[in-house]
Each structure stands twice: as C-alpha cells, then as structure tokens.
Chains A and B, each alone.
Chain A
C-alpha cells in the first residue's frame, strides 16, 4: 500500500565517521523508524544502527543444497534408471564423474539465488515509511543522509529537529512529499 504522503526529517553528514557516530546516537536515543542513505557501504553501520546480520547466507546455504540434490538426482536418475548405458563395463552410478556437474549446479543455484533474493530483500526490508528518493540530497554522490520517519513512535517534530541538529547534521529540513517513495 502506497502512502499518500511521505513525511519525515532529513539531515546529512559529510563523512562516514560522522554518519557512524550519528547512527549510534540515533539508535541509543530510541528511534526505530530511521535509515541512512549512503553513496557507498559504510563499515560498521549495521551495528551502529542496531541491525542484525543479514540473513542472506542462510538462503545461499539452502539453495546450495537444493542445487546439489537436483544435480545429483538428475544425473543418477538419467544414468541409472532412464537411460543406462554400458561404457566399458563401468558402473552406471559413476558418482565421482557426477561431481563436476554437481559442483557447478551448486554454484549456479546458490549464486544466482542469493543475488536475486538480496535485491528483493533490500527493497522489502524497510521501515514503514522509507526515505523518499530525492536527488538533491546527493545520497548517491557524497552525502550520508539521515532520515527519521514521521511514523516513528518517538516522533515529535520540534524535538526531533533539535536532536538531529545536535548530532551536527547539515541541511536539516522537514520533508513532506506526496505520492510516496518515488523519484
């Protein structure tokens, strides 16, 4: 469901270190519906924002096992049951010779699956009111933009603004965009 308007507060920082320190203070102040837009990944940001580790590795693990089982199953079934051929008296279930394809299938499922799931997860793992995509914030250029959504339980405009200013943020302003998260 697309909200009819996106309200919140923006403020930006100029270096990753400032952004990290600010994120930790926003977290400690008890805000939950906040996010950082950064031009490149900032190491330590997950901890500073109080996020858990990504669960993508579990997806990779499950898909890798699926790939192994699929490839072994297909080869075993085709070479032993569906079309057994006698190659120089060798066993039909020549499992060592099935390993290369099994390995490739594992990588195929795990890698492509993880990439697709990570992109979808990144889009879906969000706060009730994600930051609007505003070009002028420069979040893909050189700004580390803090966004606190108006949906946050602690939202109190004057208090939030004073707090964000106290973090040393630049360009602090309220945002009210109709049409939700759009370019």
Chain B
C-alpha cells in the first residue's frame, strides 16, 4: 500500500515529505512527497467530484455570485456605451496624462493572464506535477483576463468603431498599411496570438475531459453535444500519441510567447523617449510583474474554488503553499526591479531620469508609489514563514493586496512619467472620474461572469492530468471479471 494511505484529508498535510532513512539511492535517505490528491480518492471519484458542479442545477450561492457578476458586467456595458456615445471627455485622460485608465487596466489584465500560461506551460516543461490541480482554472483565467484586457486599447483608440483598421489587410483605402515598426502594431499581433494560442492550448487540454463528461451524461443531447465538443475522443493510444506530442509543443511555444507578449507591452513604453519609461529593464520587469500579479489572482480564485466548490482534495494546502512560494519569489524580483530603477536613474547621471524617480517616490503621487511598494515588495515577505504560507486567510489577504499593488504599479508607471515631463509649464495632474472607476469595476464583472459560466459547463480541474499524478495503488478500481455491469456502476452520474 501507499505510505500515504492514511492521509485522508487536506488538513492532515504537513508540506513535508516522508523520509525513509537509508532507503534511497546509494544508501541515502528516500524522500516520498505527500500525495497531490488527498481523501483516498479513486479515479472514478475524480470524475464525480469534478463533473458534479456541471451536472446539477446551480446552487443558490452560485446564483448569488453570478447575480453580482452580471450586475457588474452591466456597469461595464453602460460605461462603454457612455464612453463611446459621449467621447473620451468623460474619463480623466487629458493633457498631459493622455495614457490613463485604459492603458493601466490593459496592462493590469494582460498581466493577470500570464500566470495561467506560466502554470500550464512553464510548469509543464519543468515537470511540476502539482500544476495539474490548478492548470485548467488558471488557463481559463488567462483567456478571460485577455478578454478583459482587449477592451481597453480598443476604447483608447477614441473611435472604437475603426478598430479593424489596426489589422493589416488589403483594403480600399489606397495602399494603406499599418506601421509594422510601431510597438502598437506589435501589440495587435502579440495580444491576438496570445489569446488564440491560449484558447487552443486550453481546448486541447479539455478534449479528454469533455469525453469524460460525455461518458457520464445521461441525456442523449448532452451526450451528443459533449461528443461533438470532444471531437469524438475515445482515449485511444493512437490519439494520445499525437495529442501528447502536440501538447508538449504547445507548451514549448506558449512559454516564449508569454514572455514575448509582456515584453511587447513594455515596448509600448520603452521605445518612447519619456524619462522613467525609456529603460532596458522594462521587458523583464514587466514580465515578472505580470507573473507576480497573475499568481496573486490564481490564489484568489483557488481560495474560492477550495472553499465554495469543495475542491480541497484536489487543490490542497500544498498547492497553495507552492503558489505562495512563487508569489514571494516573484515579489522579491519585482522589488529588486523597483530598486534597480532608482539605482540606474542615479547612476545614469541623467537629470531627467533622476527627477522622474524622485518625483515618483516623493512627489504628488508618492502615496501611489507607497501602496505599490508596500503591497508588492514588502507584504509577500510574510511567506518566509511556513505557517503563513499555509494559512488560508493570510494567503487570501496577501493575494488581494498584491492585486491592488500591481494595479497601482501600472498607475505609477503611466501617470508619474507623463504628468511632469521635460517642460515644467506643461505639468499637470491626473485624477480618475466616475467613469474611470466604473469601467475598472465593470471589467471585473466581465471576468467573473465568464469564470462563473466556465465552472458551470466545463470540468474545472484537468481530470485526465490529475488521474495521471495519482498513486495507482490507491486510485485503481477493484479488479473484477464480471466486466460491464460493475464498471457501469462506477461511471454512472452521481454514483
């Protein structure tokens, strides 16, 4: 039997491996890590536990959450209608801060998405088996975050109805092309590629699980629907062979893609000549900040999934602790980048750079800088303590603070460089109006509406991947020679 057969519950996990002295290679210690799935689950239980949420009528709690999310989505729709109807004047962007709320929110949401790709692709390449519990929901988060992000640059155009002009295609406006050497054109390619490749990667991962949902379905139409969605997946080894190859390749392609996307987003700033933006540190600084903010959002969402969807056996405290470690590590890198910026501003000897950074930390927007630095660089230091890494409320609170801090990071970057540039006579201040706030809050409505719909119709945990990391000695079904009848009982919905 497995040495961990006694671990029945998430609360019994310690986060430490079982050490068997002298049992390892060359007479060393053998360390047996704790199981990734607790509760003595069998493979058949996984199907039921995970598909259950999509197979029953929504709970009152779900309706409540969905109602709130829909109301916020309504706020977004109204805000966008007002923005497009009245024009950009209703929000705070004006001279000299022409890049306000839209660019802040765009970079914020794109950054959130990056953790999903990191979990699904980078941790896959690094062979981290704990990713299996969270990758499906994290990838969904990526897609929904990119959907939110996509709104903002389009609105920022001012005339959103001409957004298709950004796409290069042979047109009747003369030989008129986008400027392919502009970072804003790079953005179009980067974001749309990122969105589509993320969807393809996510859907490829879903195929075997859609087949599982199909095989559990009792209604013939549900069965047909999920059969079509899974492209008639049978689980044949001849399918798995190509599937596994493609999955590995997509992971390999998504990894440089995710780095390129936020690099290109940072080029929007770095290729300008603004002090505080025109720095070579921007690409790595943006990428690591994106991963940092995304992991915070994953922790926020996983806390809800553990609590409200009863996923504690699949997303265990050990998973949360692993994410807390990544959050602390990336938080330190972000803090290091903040400090490096100051060093470089001083070391460059450039008067403008020096002024911008003094103004950033101690000028009129010093309060935003303080929020940013505290939330991103100082608060995650709590995770040096194992007890705090494994404490649900501490994790949740820190994840929220990091989300706030990362929003302010983008606020600081966008606003402080623009509001006081080379010419003191052009200096000004920037403040958010009612519509700035409503569009930000409304974008959360879109995000949560999509996420809540996702948990209703699709398996929220990658069933086939979780099964692969479970101990067969615990998870196997009882051998039986009676064939069909016994197996049917295991596969029946709600069994």
Known contacts A104-B260, A115-B246, A171-B484; A125/B197 CB under 8 A: no
A139 to B197, Cβ gap below 8 A?
no
| A162–chain B nearest beta-carbon distance, Å | 15
B472 to A16, Cβ gap below 8 A?
yes
Within B208-255, the residues touching A (CB, 8 Å) are 208, 211-212, 214-215, 223-224, 227, 231-246, 249-250, 253-254
B28 CB-CB contact with A under 8 Å = no
A140 CB-CB contact with B under 8 Å = yes
B233 neighbours in A (Cβ, 8 Å) = 140
Known contacts A40-B468, A46-B241, A141-B491; A83/B176 CB under 8 A: yes
Among residues of B, the one whose C-beta sits closest to the C-beta of A98 is: B180
Q: Which of B175, B203, B215, B482 contacts A141, CB < 8 Å?
A: B215
B44 to A100, Cβ gap below 8 A?
no
Among residues of A, the one whose C-beta sits closest to the C-beta of B467 is: A40
A101 CB-CB contact with B under 8 Å = yes
A141 to B43, Cβ gap below 8 A?
yes
Binds A, one of B92-100, B185-193, B379-387: B185-193
When chains A and B are docked, how far (Å) is the Cα of A53 from the Cα of B244?
11
| A89–chain B nearest beta-carbon distance, Å | 13
A108 to B237, Cβ gap below 8 A?
no
When chains A and B are docked, how far (Å) is the Cα of A108 from the Cα of B249?
12
Among residues of B, the one whose C-beta sits closest to the C-beta of A95 is: B181
A178 CB-CB contact with B under 8 Å = no
Q: Which of B239, B464, B477 contacts A40, CB < 8 Å?
A: B464
B17 CB-CB contact with A under 8 Å = no
B181 to A119, Cβ gap below 8 A?
no
Among residues of B, the one whose C-beta sits closest to the C-beta of A171 is: B483
Interface size on A, residues (CB 8 A): 73
A183 to B227, Cβ gap below 8 A?
yes
A41 to B212, Cβ gap below 8 A?
no
Q: Which of B190, B196, B231, B242 contacts A112, CB < 8 Å?
A: B196
Known contacts A85-B179, A130-B234, A141-B490; A110/B476 CB under 8 A: no
B interface, over-half SS: helix
Question: Which size class do B's interface residues fall under?
Answer: 35 or more
A7 CB-CB contact with B under 8 Å = no
| A46–chain B nearest beta-carbon distance, Å | 6
| B492–chain A nearest beta-carbon distance, Å | 10
Known contacts A100-B189, A104-B260; A126/B238 CB under 8 A: yes
B32 CB-CB contact with A under 8 Å = no
A129 CB-CB contact with B under 8 Å = no
Q: Would you give the 0/1 interface string for B333-375, flagging 1 where the beta carbon is closer than 8 Å to chain A?
A: 0000000000000000000000000000000000000000000
B237 to A49, Cβ gap below 8 A?
yes
Q: Would you give the 0/1 interface string for B314-326, flagging 1 where the beta carbon is closer than 8 Å to chain A?
A: 0000000000000
A167 neighbours in B (Cβ, 8 Å) = none
B43 to A142, Cβ gap below 8 A?
yes
B267 neighbours in A (Cβ, 8 Å) = 100
B388 CB-CB contact with A under 8 Å = no
Q: Which of A101, A108, A111, A118 contacts B242, CB < 8 Å?
A: A118
Among residues of A, the one whose C-beta sits closest to the C-beta of B475 is: A142
Within B111-137, the residues touching A (CB, 8 Å) are none
| B191–chain A nearest beta-carbon distance, Å | 9
Chain B residues in contact with chain A, CB under 8 A?
A: 42-44, 47, 168, 175-177, 179-181, 183, 185-186, 189-190, 193, 196-197, 200-201, 203-204, 207-208, 211-212, 214-215, 223-224, 227, 231-246, 249-250, 253-254, 256-257, 260, 264, 267, 464-465, 467-468, 472, 475-484, 486-488, 490-491
Given contacts A104-B189, A112-B200, A125-B239, 13 further A-B contacts (CB under 8 A): A14-B476, A39-B43, A40-B468, A105-B189, A115-B204, A118-B245, A119-B242, A119-B243, A122-B238, A123-B239, A135-B488, A137-B487, A170-B483
17 example contacts (A-B, Cβ-Cβ < 8 A) are as follows A14-B479, A16-B472, A39-B212, A40-B464, A42-B237, A54-B241, A57-B249, A83-B175, A87-B179, A100-B260, A112-B197, A137-B484, A141-B44, A142-B476, A171-B480, A171-B487, A172-B481
Chain A residues in contact with chain B, CB under 8 A?
A: 12, 14-17, 35-42, 45-46, 49, 51, 53-54, 56-57, 60, 74-75, 78-79, 82-83, 85, 87, 90, 94, 97-98, 100-101, 103-105, 107-108, 110-112, 114-115, 117-119, 121-123, 125-127, 130-131, 133, 135-143, 170-173, 181, 183
